[in-house]
Amino acid sequence: MTLEAAGLPPLTWTSVEGQAEYEPTSATLTLTAAPGVDWSNDSLGGQQQHRASALGFTAPTSFSLSARVRVEAPRTTFDAGALSLWVDQDHWAKLCFEHSPQGEAMVVSVVTNNYSDDGNSTVVAEPWVHLRVSRIGPAWAFHYSADGKMWSFVRLFRLGTPNHVHVGFLSQAPLGGSCVATFDMIHLTRQPPSNLRDGS
């Protein structure tokens, strides 16, 4: 399945076909996760999990992709809407609007080079947050924003030296029966920020 969304290349799945809808009038993409799906390469040696599937496109050599992300209530621990990067099962990353074990909505990032480096960023009081992924030369950057204008730095990293990276949108429900994540205010530009730490 290929899905068309305004301002983006044709969107395809990383693995199995998931559930997605695009509403052209509001330019809103909705992903509904199946029960128990996630991406995880547990640093403690637990079983890997790659049952979630991301919807996206081949990453340009230089770009930024941003979106406002919401997750429908009620929420289950670790459910999330995310921007994602996928090379293979041992090299991937995601920037999530995730529900914590303490019942808080948070910005959470995971970078995987064989094992997952999982880090919590900030608690989010609003029912949405803007997320952004950028490619700058050989590196990738994650940012979040309350308004889509002033951006806060989350992390800078590499994913090995891949030629082909799939960038896109992900919904996960590791412990729940489902997770409905919506992405709107989606913006793709070939010009990543020139300064990763000045809010631009």
Q: Cβ neighbours of residue 74 under 8 Å, at least 6 residues apart?
A: none
Tokens, residue 176:
């729940």
Residue-wise pLDDT for 66-124, tens only, equals 999 999 999 999 999 999 999 999 999 999 999 999 999 999 999 999 999 999 999 99
The structure's pTM equals 0.97
Rg (CA), the chain: 15
| Domain spans, the chain | 12-189
Q: What is the pLDDT of residue 163?
A: 81
Q: How many residues does the chain have?
A: 200
Domain at 12-189, CATH from 2.60.120.10, 2.40.40.20, 2.60.120.200, 1.10.3720.10: 2.60.120.200
Q: Give me 165's structure tokens.
A: 């990276």
Percentages (nearest 5) of helix, strand, coil residues in the chain:
0, 55, 45
At 161 the pLDDT is 72
